[in-house]
Every structure is written in C-alpha cells, then in structure tokens.
A and B are shown apart, each in its own frame.
Chain A
C-alpha cells in the first residue's frame, strides 16, 4: 500500500540550530508531496509542496524540503530553528495521484528548546 512514513515521533532541537523533520514515501508514479504544520488547538497550515520541477522546494516561515527520488525522501528543513516553530508536523501525499483527499503520516512533534 502507498504511504508516507515519519520515523520520529519527536524531534528536539536547540533554538538557532538547523532542524530536520524526516519523511519517506512509498508512492507509485510521480508523487505529489506536502508538509503541513499544526499548532495546538489549531487547524493544519500548508507549508510547502512538491509537484514537479526543482527538487528543493521553499515554503512558508523559512522552511524548505528536498525531494530525493533515489532515497524516496522528502525531509523538511530549516537553517535556524525558532521556539515558535514548536508544533506538530505532517507529511502528506495524494494516494490516487489526483487532487482529492490527502493521506497523512502520523506526525512528528518538533520541540525547539530556548
């Protein structure tokens, strides 16, 4: 079955350090991949997407992600973490290859320590 995996339940990073939140995918064809962030008691916010084109995708709030076909990964990165980046991050994809419902990974809690 097609899926995305977020291997870490929680990632801890010191403020100012670079951060990486990992996502690997098992998707047939050309995957449409997304990152969303959820702050406590809030809805999900779109961060960035990979549809086609450049493997390095830039998104909101200074985040970026690199699509790596050989490693089937789509890790989320930021050069310098802020305490306000602390939240729950989801990797997602379209399982049917079209713009219908997203399938999400289980999420990774990102904790930025001051």
Chain B
C-alpha cells in the first residue's frame, strides 16, 4: 500500500459528460501528479501540483483540468468526454527532499470507461 488513495475505483459514463477524479497524497507529500494509462498511448504525464500551485504540465487536453486544495488532496476534472478518454488514471505523490527525493508513489488508479 503506497499511502496514496484514489476514488472512485471505477467510473462508467457517457460521451459528452463530465467527471471528477479524486486523489489524496501520502501524508506529508506536497506534490501531486496525474497520469493517464491507455493501451495506445501508454503511460502519459498530465499535470503536477505542488502545495496548491500548478508546477508542470504534460500532455493534458484543454478539456481536462486539475486543482490541489489546501488539505493537499487533488481533483482531476475531465469534461466533454470522448470514447478515447477511456483509460486508467493514476495519481502519484512525492516528498520534496530527503532519502525519498524524486520518488513518486502511485495510487491504485481510477478506471474510466466512456460509452
């Protein structure tokens, strides 16, 4: 168990809809990352937040957005969903420094199915 939690585990929704995925990082971790894993694109970095501020952006679509709240949990919002958005979405967190510097710890993921 990594200490990173994600809800829900599974989500089934229709095209055009909007969903919110939630992530709670490990206790004490200030950085949160979102990744998408699909068969055709592999594992892709979407976005990073550090202590409430956006830190880095990857291959995140404009239809997707994220935020990190004062209690450090994060939400990934996916809107105008398309069939191709069906994927496993992972959240990860990391400590700023120390022995575990640069190590990212992943949650169990949310499997999104768009029908």
Contact = CB atoms under 8 A, between A and B. Distances in A.
Interface in A33-55: 34, 36, 42-46, 49, 51
A101 B42 contact: no
Interface string A89-114: 01000101011111110110000000
Contacts of A36: 106
B64 interface: no
A64 to B, nearest CB: 16
Size band of the interface chain B makes with A: 20 to 34
Interface residues of A, number: 22
B42 A49 contact: no
Contacts of B2: 43, 45
B43 A99 contact: no
A46 B103 contact: yes
Interface of B: 2, 4, 31, 33, 35, 42-43, 45-48, 55-56, 58, 90, 92, 94, 101-109
9 contacts: A36-B106, A43-B108, A43-B109, A44-B106, A51-B101, A100-B56, A101-B35, A104-B42, A106-B42
